[in-house]
């Protein structure tokens, strides 16, 4: 069976340019690809046919020979393998590179690796969380070597192209119909070999250095708040972008206030007399001021008083604040002198029904409980 004209196979005129040949091949290859036509022998044969045609016509020397001698140019040792010896797997790999390499960033380009991200743990006080602050932090990280400019080669020398992979960064091994591609062992995928390594960085192109960074901690940050500094992480490889630095904020426990979300809680002891007769106490606030809490007559331990807007600022909340809850703890006096004890005993004798409602209610329940136990 005679072979069809390669131009006819690709559907192009004899004087077609490389761009037209490539576009035609791309369209036909997509239609006849074996993966899109599983089990279709005709499609597989046609795919090989158009791949063979494109392999010849995309090469200037092969095309010139074909235009002059036709298919005979590749028979009897005239310039390559005959039709029956067409290296389909190798040809298809090269064609794939030509057509789709641009969508993959260029298979022959040096791989640019993004630098790693870094984490920094920063502890702030509750006051700093309330007001916000500017923190100066020191971060140990890998930065581009100043001596070699990140190339890894000592001054006056440049990295050389790897001879094992010809600068591709990968090597191919053919196994039957398939071509296996793996990272080049000579250059570890970089496509370059450093024969004169820079001494300060030992050829890596990076050195460990402690950097001082300025970080703005916004008012209202909470435990676990994460702040991202773009491009402040590890330096990239082969000119790749640097990673990011993530600052994780923790808030130190406070001796007076407990925080829950945007609200603050404070426990304030009051004297027995103030709780009984009523009065007022001053409670400090995180803004440096103080809030007056009015204690009504007969206040019991555990009662909470809400101070609106005296809590933590809402992160990026436009000036909004939570509330401050003051919980009263009535303090029992200790170390009483003789006179004080006598006055308390006299006070106890003057007590009337209703002076201690919680005590009276509890005793009533206890009496009822013990009475039911006796009957049983």
Domains of the chain: 6-104 (1.10.287.110), 118-159+194-251 (2.60.260.20), 257-331 (2.60.260.20), 338-375 (no CATH)
132's tokens: 């916000």
Biggest CA-to-CA distance, the chain: 131
Residue 297: exposure state from Cβ atoms within 10 A (0-12, 13-18, ≥19): exposed
286's tokens: 């995180």
- Please state at what angle helix 41-57 crosses helix 18-32, rounded to 10 degrees: 170
pLDDT by position in tens, the chain (length 376): 578 898 998 898 888 888 888 888 888 888 887 777 777 888 888 888 888 888 888 888 888 888 888 887 776 544 444 444 444 444 454 455 544 444 444 444 445 577 788 899 999 999 999 999 999 999 887 777 888 877 788 888 888 888 888 777 888 776 655 667 788 888 877 788 888 888 888 887 878 888 889 999 999 999 999 999 998 887 776 667 888 999 999 999 999 999 999 999 999 999 989 999 999 999 999 988 999 999 999 999 999 999 999 999 998 878 899 999 999 999 998 899 999 999 989 988 887 777 777 777 877 888 877 766 555 5
Q: Is residue 301 within 8 Å of 329, Cβ to Cβ?
A: yes
- What is this structure's pTM? 0.55
- Please state at what angle helix 41-57 crosses helix 60-69, rounded to 10 degrees: 100
Helix ranges, 208-252 (H): none
Length of the chain equals: 376
3-class SS of residue 331:
strand
């Amino acid at each position: 069976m005679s072979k069809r004209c390669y131009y006819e196979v690709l559907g192009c005129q004899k004087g077609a340019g490389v761009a037209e040949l490539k576009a035609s091949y791309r369209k036909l290859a997509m239609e006849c690809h074996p993966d899109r036509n599983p089990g279709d022998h005709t499609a597989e044969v046609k795919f090989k046919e158009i791949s063979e045609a494109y392999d010849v016509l995309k090469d200037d020397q092969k095309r010139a020979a074909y235009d002059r001698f036709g298919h005979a140019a590749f028979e009897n040792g005239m310039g390559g393998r005959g039709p029956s010896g067409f290296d389909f797997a190798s040809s298809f790999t090269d064609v794939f590179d030509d057509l789709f390499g641009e969508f993959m960033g260029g298979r022959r380009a040096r791989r640019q690796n993004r630098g790693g991200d870094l984490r920094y743990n920063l502890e702030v006080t509750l006051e700093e969380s309330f007001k916000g602050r500017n923190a100066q932090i020191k971060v140990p990280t890998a930065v581009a070597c100043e001596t070699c400019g990140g190339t890894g080669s000592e001054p006056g020398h440049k990295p050389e192209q790897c001879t094992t992979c010809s600068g591709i960064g990968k090597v191919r091994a053919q196994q039957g119909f398939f071509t296996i591609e793996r990272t080049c062992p000579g250059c570890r995928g970089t496509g370059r070999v450093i024969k004169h390594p820079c001494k300060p960085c030992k050829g890596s192109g990076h050195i460990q250095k402690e950097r001082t960074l300025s970080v703005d901690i916004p008012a209202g940050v909470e435990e676990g708040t994460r702040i991202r500094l773009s491009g402040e992480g590890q330096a990239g490889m082969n000119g790749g972008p640097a990673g990011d630095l993530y600052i994780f904020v923790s808030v130190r426990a406070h001796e007076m206030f407990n925080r829950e979300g945007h609200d603050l809680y404070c426990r304030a002891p009051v004297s027995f007399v103030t709780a009984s007769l009523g009065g007022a106490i001053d409670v400090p606030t995180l803004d440096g001021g103080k809030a007056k809490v009015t204690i009504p007559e007969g206040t019991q331990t555990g009662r909470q008083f809400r101070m609106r807007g005296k809590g933590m600022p809402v992160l990026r909340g436009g000036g909004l604040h939570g509330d401050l809850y003051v919980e009263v703890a009535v303090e029992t006096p200790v170390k009483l002198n003789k006179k004080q004890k006598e006055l308390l005993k006299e006070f106890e004798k003057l007590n009337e029904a209703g002076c201690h409602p919680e005590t009276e209610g509890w005793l009533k329940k206890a009496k009822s409980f013990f009475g039911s136990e006796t009957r049983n």
